[in-house]
Chain A
Amino acid sequence: MKICALLLAALAIPALAADDAVIKAKPAAVLWQAPEKITLQDWIWGPGGQDKAPKPPYEFIEEDGNGTNAKIRVRDGAGNQWTVKFGGEIHSDVFAARMLNAMGYLAEPTYFVASGVVSGAHDLRRAKPFLEKDGRFYRARFKLRDKKSMAKVADQDWSWIDNPFAGSHELSGLKIMLMLMSNWDAKDSRDGKGSNTAIYSTKGSDSHLIYSFDDWGATMGKWGGFFKRDKWNPDGYTAQSKNFVTNVSGKGIRWGYQGKHGRDVTSGIAAADVAWLMTYLSRVTDADLQAGLRASGATEEQIQAYSSALRERITQLQKVSSTTVATAR
């Protein structure tokens, strides 16, 4: 028994010392984590899985006045809090969460809810037209408000040109994901309160800072300037796909993408970065894409259009990646 007690004590000492070191050390900055084995179920249910999906009944908490779309906060039957968004970004948000999750970037549990009833809604402004008198709604995006495991770091932000990941595969990979989904709303810390970049701090002993791009509503349509861009437009997305990668030469890769901070987004991406992202992107099947789109509330016509266009863009990335391999040989 004494030997056992000594052994336990000996094991406990380094563990305590390690804990102390974690507390004192500056939290590590993380942009990406190698994705675990992604299955079709992950494309269907997204980063939260089926277990975390919202469970009715939904109880109104308050209206959220942030952003360009109407939003409310609700509590579901399991006691979880959700930000419920209505309007033109709901499908894009849900699909982007599945794409990011599959590639190893931060994505929060996000679901497409076809219909439901919110009880106790009152004093609504922007959200008023989206809720019937009995609280019934159709087509909404539910995003989990999970403040238990991580929290947004106040007064800290990052930009495409000022972050700890300059020149890394991970940052370039995120830029490619942005372009792959035609997200033209690439605002960052330079845009003040409108910034779509954010830093989150995880809670617990293994604390680290997660750098994230948060807003994927302005995706899956046409990239471009004020008069051209839109959201969730399969025709526009498809039409621009042939110009996804416009040229690859010794000077670098040229992209068709145009958007906020477009130069910063398109610059600094090497063919080796594309090859790195393709390690994960090449695993994505058409069935995966279609499952993700279907879970986002896309119609069958939209699913066919988007999966073909996405495949076309991934093929272009594959060609860039092949060039790198050939050059290396």
Chain B
Amino acid sequence: MHKLTLTVLGLACIPYCGQAQTNDPAGPDIGVIGSVAGMPREYTAQTSSERIRSYIMGTFGPVAVGSAILSGSISQAQGTPKEWGGGAEAFGERIGNSYARHVIRKTLEFGGATLLHEDNRYLPSMESGFGRRAFYAVRSTFIAHDYAGHEHPAYSRFAGALGGSFIATIWAPRSTSSSGDALVSFGISVATAAGFNVVKEFSRDLKRRKK
């Protein structure tokens, strides 16, 4: 399990440089002023209300609750932590544990992002090809944007994931309350975020096909 954490931390070292391509077809004589050559990819910052809305939906919305139920179900099937045993009560505890960790993580992330002016949204890639797009999606887990769209490491996301993992050890039973357990939990949470990004990237194709 510690290998997973190391793998995730290793991925974090992937250089985050690289410019996205422009998708603007603008040119002269169409009412657009200035040169369109070399324009970076368009980025639209969220307003304050949009950031609050994202936080509320991401923390208390149906996907968040569904993920907590799924995570609780996996823990129940694995019987971790063992002190909680089995049965409906234990199932509820595991879901509650997972959801509490999520709320703490998202709240820390939101606070950090507000302070640091970070945008942790996933922005779809402009790449083509499965490998490139999958790499972009995983790489995006480690990248945030400032309000003008410049890339930098996603400090608030990692602070949230790390904080959520360590704070959850306060109520965790002895078998899952060590620092190593918190780091494993952190690694899982980052890997899950990467997985979600890959799903987001390729679910666009399904939406297009439906249209």
Interface residues of A (CB under 8 A from B): 43-46, 53-54, 56, 68-70, 86-88, 111-116, 126, 129-130, 138-139, 142, 226-227, 230, 232, 291, 294-295, 297, 299-301
Q: Find chain B residues with CB under 8 A from A232 CB.
A: 44
Q: Find chain A residues with CB under 8 A from B147 CB.
A: 70, 87, 126, 129-130
The CA-CA distance from A230 to B57 in the complex, in Å, is 15
Q: Find chain A residues with CB under 8 A from B42 CB.
A: 139
A87 and B44 contacting across the interface, CB-CB below 8 Å: yes
The CA-CA distance from A299 to B162 in the complex, in Å, is 39
The CA-CA distance from A170 to B92 in the complex, in Å, is 60
Kindly name the residue among A70, A88, A111 whose own CB sees the greatest number of chain B CB atoms within 10 A. A88
With A88-B45, A114-B39 already in contact, the answer to whether A300 and B25 are too (CB < 8 A) is yes
Taking a contact as CB atoms closer than 8 A, the residue among B34, B45, B47 that contacts A114 in the complex is: B34
Q: Is the CB of B53 closer than 8 A to any CB of chain A?
A: yes
The 6 closest A-B pairs by CB, nearest first: A295-B31, A129-B148, A44-B31, A88-B44, A115-B34, A114-B34
Task: Look across to chain B and name the residue whose beta carbon is closest to the beta carbon of A294.
Answer: B30
Q: Is the CB of B23 closer than 8 A to any CB of chain A?
A: yes
The CA-CA distance from A250 to B52 in the complex, in Å, is 42
B25 and A111 contacting across the interface, CB-CB below 8 Å: no
Q: Find chain A residues with CB under 8 A from B78 CB.
A: none
A295 and B30 contacting across the interface, CB-CB below 8 Å: yes
The CA-CA distance from A43 to B24 in the complex, in Å, is 19
Taking a contact as CB atoms closer than 8 A, the residue among B25, B53, B150 that contacts A129 in the complex is: B150
B150 and A111 contacting across the interface, CB-CB below 8 Å: no
Interface residues of B (CB under 8 A from A): 23-26, 30-36, 38-40, 42, 44-50, 53, 56-57, 117, 146-150
The CA-CA distance from A300 to B25 in the complex, in Å, is 7
A138 and B150 contacting across the interface, CB-CB below 8 Å: no
Task: Look across to chain B and name the residue whose beta carbon is closest to the beta carbon of A290.
Answer: B30
> A126-B147, A142-B33 given. 7 additional CB < 8 A pairs?
A88-B47, A114-B24, A116-B34, A129-B117, A129-B148, A130-B148, A299-B25
The CA-CA distance from A299 to B42 in the complex, in Å, is 10
B31 and A46 contacting across the interface, CB-CB below 8 Å: yes
Q: Find chain B residues with CB under 8 A from A87 CB.
A: 44-45, 147
Taking a contact as CB atoms closer than 8 A, the residue among B38, B40, B49, B150 that contacts A226 in the complex is: B49
The CA-CA distance from A129 to B24 in the complex, in Å, is 21
